[in-house]
Amino acid sequence: MRGRDAWGGGAAPATPPKPVTLDARLAALRTRGAIKDFAEEVDRDEALRAALLALVAARGIDVEPDIGGKRLVRAALARAGDAQVRKNPIHRDEAFTCAHCGAAVAPGGAPVRDHCPICLRGRHVDDMVPGDRAAGCGAVLDPIAFERRPEIVIRYQCRQCAHTFVVRAHPDDRVPPSLDPRDVQGPA
């Protein structure tokens, strides 16, 4: 009887798959096509529509009861606020005085100059997006590591809030040949 089930057939029947929650289905929607397909399903299936309306109401989102499936799905996803947040860098290349060593630093040109080429320190002025000037900190960024990718990048850590940041090194930066941040020349 090895390998047979109680009815004399092959292997025992597989356990039925667990039902997928509505939240999991929404989280899996990554493309416009997937959203459109799910919205069409919502328009066809009244029980799914009712569950989605209840979910939206529980999240405190006001929608009309006769809203179309696509708009209802988009409301349930609640990604509109995320879409309004800027994610692309803002090109700001300005002369500045280094907060660490006091050197007058000229703009970098095409690659934006955001750190001192002498002591390799920067200032924590940007938050999530390079150039946004949204960080309220303003403390000095110290180089904590150098990495050789196609180009050399500098990994910084803020002295005040411990935020870490990665930037590309410029050709005129005094990056130590050892790539050890302890070997950076200039004032300590």
Residue 9 placed within a domain: no
List, for residues 118-169, the tens digit of each pLDDT value.
Answer: 999 988 888 777 777 777 888 899 999 999 888 899 999 999 988 888 888 9
Q: Are strands 122-123 and 140-148 parallel, antiparallel or unpaired?
A: antiparallel
Residue 5 placed within a domain: no
Mean pLDDT score, 39-53: 92
Residue 111 placed within a domain: yes
Count of C-beta atoms within a 10 Å radius of residue 23: 10
Q: Looking at the predicted structure, is the pLDDT value of residue 1 above 50?
A: no
Distance CA 110, CA 178 (A): 27
Distance CA 145, CA 103 (A): 22
Q: Which of 83, 114, 130 is the last residue of a domain?
A: 83
What is the count of structural domains for the chain?
Answer: 2
Indicate if 79 and 125 belong to the same structural domain: no
Indicate if 66 and 119 belong to the same structural domain: no
pLDDT value, residue 188: 61
Q: Are 35 and 41 in contact (CB under 8 A)?
A: no
Indicate if 103 and 121 belong to the same structural domain: yes
Indicate if 136 and 161 belong to the same structural domain: yes
Q: Looking at the predicted structure, is the pLDDT value of residue 109 above 80?
A: no
- Residue range(s) defining the domain that contains residue 79: 22-83
Residue 62 placed within a domain: yes
Mean pLDDT score, 8-19: 56
Q: What are phi and psi of 144, to 5 degrees?
A: -110, -15
Indicate if 186 and 104 belong to the same structural domain: yes
Indicate if 117 and 103 belong to the same structural domain: yes
Residue 108 placed within a domain: yes
Q: Which of 83, 99, 121 is the last residue of a domain?
A: 83
Residue 166 placed within a domain: yes
Indicate if 32 and 49 belong to the same structural domain: yes
* Single pTM value for the model: 0.53
Residue 7 placed within a domain: no
Q: Which of 56, 83, 110 is the last residue of a domain?
A: 83
DSSP per residue, the chain: -TT--TTSSSSPPPPPPPPPPHHHHHHT--SHHHHHHHHHHHHH-HHHHHHHHHHHHHTT----TT--HHHHHHHHHT-HHHHTS--S-------EE-TTT--EE---SSS---B-TTT--EE----SSTT----S--PEEEEEEEEESSSEEEEEEETTT--EEEEEPPTTS---TT--GGG--S--
Tokens at 129, concatenated = 């997006």
Count of C-beta atoms within a 10 Å radius of residue 167: 20
Indicate if 132 and 182 belong to the same structural domain: yes
